[in-house]
């Protein structure tokens, strides 16, 4: 492959750029000499990374690797890929923050769940290394083993919960075999509701998986009972799942920011609708995320409107920093019409490498960036990418995704609406769903050139996800070809305003109490309802809480909202207590209540003194009623005393004497 060192030097001016032919072999001494300088080193090769790491040994300065061969050099357009190489080196130089870990521990207790002898034979393959129990669902005739090496019981799993090291299964029709079974295994009387706890589950039942998105459940292995090769792979994997394992804590969750519910009224439920593994469940006014079950798809973080759920591998701002470094370097090296290709390592990386080795390779203007999960990418990263000067953005997905990708589809639709409204028309952002490297190359080469922003932004973002999102959108609006102030958005968007039917609003302010972000506010001195659009996340709690049902959500993005003051939705004169002159309510409401009760309720006859109590504050109302000597029970016949057991016994004794 050809190496465009001048293009890389132009973009990475502060770095020393050197090119070699066989750095891992005949020129290895030059690599060793570079190590002695103690500077940070980035090697443009991943194939020989183990060898370079061995040569480097223990060193304090960073040693990073980037694949410029399969992603840039091995291509029919490799000679023009200098700007892309510069982008890849610039991204590699961006530090990746540490992420938290959780520990999962397995002692090797495994339940093999099947229907016939194949489950028992599988148990024999595992028995020398694991603590095996075989559970057979509605088995046919079985020949008893001459020696019981591990338990074989019958039962059908009704419910399954847990994860690697902590599974809990509820089993119906559970029964143990009789030791006296002769030619056929005979079971004891069955019972329902038995509970089994184990570290691993190997499912050979061939039925419905025990868990949603079962491929993502750590410790749950599943194989077709008719496929010996699949069973063998599952057995080998199960043998390795003994010991202590570190798993990333994919999501950082801040409960105080969650807008799920208030006062038992549900508001935002975006994450609950999207989680493929069921790791997210309601927990009072917020949700709770089971880190042991979470598979890291990141859809909850991508759609969370408040930033309560944020991705940690890496955080949103760290991903944007990489996008910034890539696109700035790409343009400084002379690149144009940049197409960002976001992919994962398990599916996307092999596909790109296959295209490079056996096809035409990636086009020179396609810049790949690997992320942990494509579905983790939110609107903030898309907005930042186009603000930095990208022309297109494509997400590379499997032809048959391992879990539902509806969250990503909604994010793409939302981004497309905003981009189109700002003059970046056409299909600027979309997904490519394929397992065929040639189809991937054909799709990327078929993209027509589209103008990007005239003057790419260079901002850096730091902070919570919601703040990063707001800033990225403002910067995109600033550099957009056709900036407009307001863009209507699809339903479910995390931005918007409210339509309030003023005539029906009584200023009860229940919406203010329910609002989790402070978008709705009041004034302690007077009846007033204010709304700050920049803080609204369209959770719907105000709409669900309003007793008059006069609030309507209007999804939109108003780029002026960030600097606008909170607008007054409704304001009225306060009702002043006619006795102490303290404000205690809304004047129009008090007038309506008085008009409805005066002369129409037995407690409020046509008497000015009695009706005046309605126009008093709570303290003065008690004083006035006390001074008046008002007794609501005057004229009401006295209720007879309740009869007790003693009364009945007394009557019985009296009747006996008579």
Residue 256 and residue 114 share a domain: no
pLDDT of residue 603: 59
Q: Which helix (H) or strand (E) holds 34?
A: helix 28-35
Percent of the chain with pLDDT over 70: 97
Quickly tell me which residue has 């609030």 as its tokens: 551
Q: What is the pLDDT of residue 602?
A: 57
Q: Partners of 175 in the beta sheet?
A: 154
Domain boundary among 571, 591, 609: 571
Whether residues 27 and 10 fall in one domain: yes
Find out whether 424 and 234 touch, Cβ atoms under 8 Å: no
- The long-range contacts involving 154-163, CB below 8 angstroms and separated by at least 24 positions, are 154/187, 154/190, 155/190, 155/194, 157/113, 157/210, 158/192, 160/201, 160/210, 160/211, 162/219, 162/293, 163/104, 163/217, 163/218, 163/219, 163/290, 163/292, 163/293
Identify whether residues 324 and 457 lie together within a single domain: yes
Check if the beta carbon of residue 262 is closer than 8 Å to that of residue 541: yes
Tell me: do 451 and 335 sit in the same domain.
Answer: yes
pLDDT greater than 80 at residue 638:
no
Question: Is 639 part of any domain?
Answer: no
Question: Quick check: bond before 314 cis, omega within 30?
Answer: yes
Indicate whether 447 and 554 sit together in one domain: no
Tell me, yes or no, whether 180 lies in a domain. Answer: yes
Residue 507 has pLDDT above 70, yes or no: yes
Is residue 610 pLDDT above 90, yes or no? no
From 509, 497, 503, select the one nearest 538 (Cα to Cα).
497
- Is the confidence at residue 275, as pLDDT, over 60? yes
**pLDDT-derived band at 461, boundaries 50, 70, 90:** confident
Q: Does the structure show a pLDDT above 80 at 599? A: no
Mean pLDDT of 66-93: 96
With respect to residue 544, please indicate whether it lies within any of the assigned structural domains.
yes
Mean pLDDT of 498-517: 93
CA distance 96 to 15: 19
In the predicted model, is pLDDT for residue 631 greater than 80? no
CATH number where 551 lies: 3.30.70.3270
**Residue 600: per-residue pLDDT:** 64
Query: What's the confidence (pLDDT) of residue 570?
Result: 93
pLDDT for position 612: 79
Q: How many alpha carbons lie under 13 Å from residue 376 in its C-beta half-sphere? A: 28
Residue labelled with tokens 């005046």? 612
* Average pLDDT in the chain: 93
Query: Is the pLDDT assigned to residue 590 strictly greater than 90?
Result: no
Q: Do strands 583-586 and 551-558 pair parallel, antiparallel, or not at all (unpaired)?
A: unpaired
Distances (CA, A) of 311 to 74, 408, 447: 33, 14, 31
Q: How confident is the model at residue 607 (pLDDT cuts 50, 70, 90)?
A: low
Do 205 and 322 lie in one domain? The reply is no
Residue 276 has pLDDT above 90, yes or no: yes
- How is the beta sheet containing 486-488 ordered, strand by strand? 486-488, 551-558, 496-500
| In-domain check, residue 564 | yes
β-strands 152-163, 243-248: how paired? unpaired
- 304/319 same-domain check: no
Does 235 share its domain with 268? no
- Count helices and strands in the chain by DSSP H and E runs: 20, 29
92 within domain boundaries = yes
**Cα–Cα distance for residue pair 467/316, rounded to 1 Å:** 11
365 and 222 in a common domain: no
Residue 639: pLDDT band by 50, 70, 90 thresholds? confident
Does residue 322 sit in the same domain as residue 285? Answer: no
Contact (CB, 8 A) for 163 and 219: yes
How large is the average pLDDT for residues 243-259? 96
Instruction: Supply the DSSP string of 61-92, one letter for each residue.
Output: S-EEE---IIIIISSTTGGG-HHHHHHHHHHH
Q: What is the pLDDT of residue 71?
A: 97
C-alpha distances (whole Å) from 164 to each of 41, 253, 583 are 38, 22, 61
CATH code: domain of residue 290? 3.30.70.20
Task: Write down the pLDDT at residue 374.
Answer: 97
Q: Provide the pLDDT for residue 437.
A: 97
Do residues 252 and 312 lie in contact, with contact meaning Cβ atoms separated by under 8 Å?
A: yes
Tell me if 606 is assigned to some domain.
no
- Is residue 658 very low, low, confident or very high in pLDDT (cuts 50, 70, 90)? confident
Q: From 264, 280, 311, give the residue that closes a domain.
A: 311
Report pLDDT digits (tens) over 153-191: 999 999 999 999 999 999 999 999 999 999 999 999 999
Please state the domain count of the chain: 4
Asked whether residue 130 falls in the same domain as residue 70, the answer is no
| 111-129 pLDDT per residue, tens | 999 999 999 999 999 999 9
- Here the tokens at position 317 are 């701002």
Predicted confidence at residue 532, as pLDDT, reads 97
Among 272, 288, 311, identify where a domain stops.
311
pLDDT score, position 232: 96
Residue 65 lies in a domain: yes
Per-residue pLDDT averaged across 589-610, rounded?
Answer: 70
Owner of token pair 């001494």:
29
Q: Which residues contact 326 (CB under 8 A, 6 or more apart)?
A: 87, 88, 90, 91, 340, 367, 369
Distance CA(548)–CA(344), nearest Å, equals: 49
Mean pLDDT value across residues 205-228? 95
Residues 6+ apart with CB under 8 A from 361: 70, 74, 75, 76, 77, 78, 355, 441
Q: Which domain covers residue 342, as residue numbers? A: 5-97+314-479
Residue 421 has pLDDT above 90, yes or no: yes
CB neighbours of 240 closer than 8 A, spacing ≥ 6? none
> What would the DSSP string read from start to end of 314-379?
S-HHHHHHHHHHHHHHHHHTT--S-EEEEEETTTHHHHHHHHHHHS----TTEEEEEES-GGG--H
- Higher per-residue confidence, 443 vs 629: 443
- Residue 307 clears pLDDT 80, i.e. is over it: yes
Whether pLDDT at 26 is above 60 = yes
**Average pLDDT score over residue span 328-355:** 97
Tokens found for residue 496: 């918007």
Are 171 and 284 within one domain? Answer: no
For residue 267, tell me if it sits in a domain: yes
Distance CA 579, CA 269 (A): 48
H helix or E strand, kind and range, residue 437: helix 437-445
Mean pLDDT value across residues 252-268: 95
d(CA 150, CA 124): 8
């Amino acid at each position: 492959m050809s190496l465009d060192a001048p293009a890389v030097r132009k973009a990475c001016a502060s770095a020393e750029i050197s090119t070699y032919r066989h750095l891992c072999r005949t020129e290895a001494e030059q690599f060793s000499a570079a190590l002695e300088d103690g500077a940070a080193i980035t090697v443009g090769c991943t194939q020989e990374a183990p060898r370079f790491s061995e040569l480097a040994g223990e060193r304090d300065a960073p040693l990073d690797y980037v694949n410029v061969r399969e992603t840039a050099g091995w291509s029919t357009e490799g000679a023009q890929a200098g700007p892309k190489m510069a982008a890849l080196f610039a991204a590699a130089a961006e530090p990746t923050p540490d992420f938290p870990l959780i520990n999962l521990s397995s002692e090797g207790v495994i339940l093999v769940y099947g229907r016939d002898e194949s489950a028992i034979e599988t148990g024999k393959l595992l028995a020398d290394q694991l603590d095996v129990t075989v559970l057979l669902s509605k088995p046919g005739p079985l020949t008893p083993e001459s020696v019981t090496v591990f338990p074989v019981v019958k039962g059908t799993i009704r419910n399954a919960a847990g994860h690697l090291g902590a599974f809990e299964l509820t089993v119906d029709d559970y029964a143990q075999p009789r030791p006296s079974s002769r030619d056929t295994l005979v079971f004891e009387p069955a019972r329902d509701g038995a509970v089994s706890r184990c570290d691993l589950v190997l499912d050979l039942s061939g039925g419905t998986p025990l868990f949603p998105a079962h491929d993502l459940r750590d410790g749950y292995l599943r194989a077709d009972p008719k496929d010996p090769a699949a069973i063998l792979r599952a057995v080998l994997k199960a043998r390795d799942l003994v010991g202590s394992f570190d798993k990333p804590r994919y999501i950082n969750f801040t409960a105080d920011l969650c807008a799920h519910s208030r006062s038992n009224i549900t508001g935002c439920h975006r994450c609950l609708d999207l989680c493929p593994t069921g790791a997210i469940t309601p927990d009072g006014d917020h949700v709770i995320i089971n880190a042991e079950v979470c598979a890291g798809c990141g859809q909850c973080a991508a759609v969370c409107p408040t930033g309560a759920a944020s991705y940690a591998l890496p955080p949103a701002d760290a991903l944007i920093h990489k996008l910034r470094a890539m696109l700035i370097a790409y343009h400084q090296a002379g690149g144009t019409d940049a197409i960002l290709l976001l992919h994962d390592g398990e599916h996307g990386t092999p596909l790109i490498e296959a295209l490079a080795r056996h096809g035409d390779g990636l086009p020179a203007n396609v810049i790949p960036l690997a992320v942990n999960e494509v579905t983790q990418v939110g609107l903030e990263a898309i907005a930042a990418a186009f603000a930095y000067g990208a022309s297109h953005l494509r997400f590379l997905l499997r032809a048959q995704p391992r879990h539902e990708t509806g969250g990503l589809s909604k994010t793409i639709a939302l981004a497309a609406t905003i981009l189109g409204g700002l003059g970046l028309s056409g299909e600027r952002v979309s997904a490519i769903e394929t397992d065929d490297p040639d189809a991937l190359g054909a799709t990327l080469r078929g993209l027509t050139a589209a103008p990007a922003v005239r003057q790419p932004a260079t901002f850096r973002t730091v902070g919570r996800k919601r703040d990063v999102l707001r800033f990225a959108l403002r910067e995109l609006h600033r550099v957009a070809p056709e900036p407009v102030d307001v863009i209507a958005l699809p339903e479910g968007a995390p931005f918007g305003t409210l339509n309030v039917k003023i005539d029906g609003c009584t200023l009860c302010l229940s919406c203010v109490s329910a609002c989790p972000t402070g978008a709705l506010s009041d004034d302690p001195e007077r009846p007033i309802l204010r709304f700050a659009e920049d803080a609204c996340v369209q959770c719907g709690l105000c709409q669900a809480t309003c007793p008059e049902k006069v609030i309507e959500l209007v999804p939109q993005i108003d780029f002026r909202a960030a600097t606008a003051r909170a607008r007054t939705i409704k304001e009225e004169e306060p009702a002043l207590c006619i006795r102490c002159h303290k404000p205690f309510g809304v004047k129009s409401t008090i007038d309506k209540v008085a008009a409805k009760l005066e002369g129409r309720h037995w407690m409020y006859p046509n008497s000015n003194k009695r009706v005046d109590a309605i126009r008093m504050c709570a303290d003065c109302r008690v004083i006035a009623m006390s001074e008046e000597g008002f007794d609501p029970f005057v004229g009401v016949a006295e209720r007879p005393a309740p009869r007790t057991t003693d009364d009945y016994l007394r009557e019985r004794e009296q009747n006996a004497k008579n």
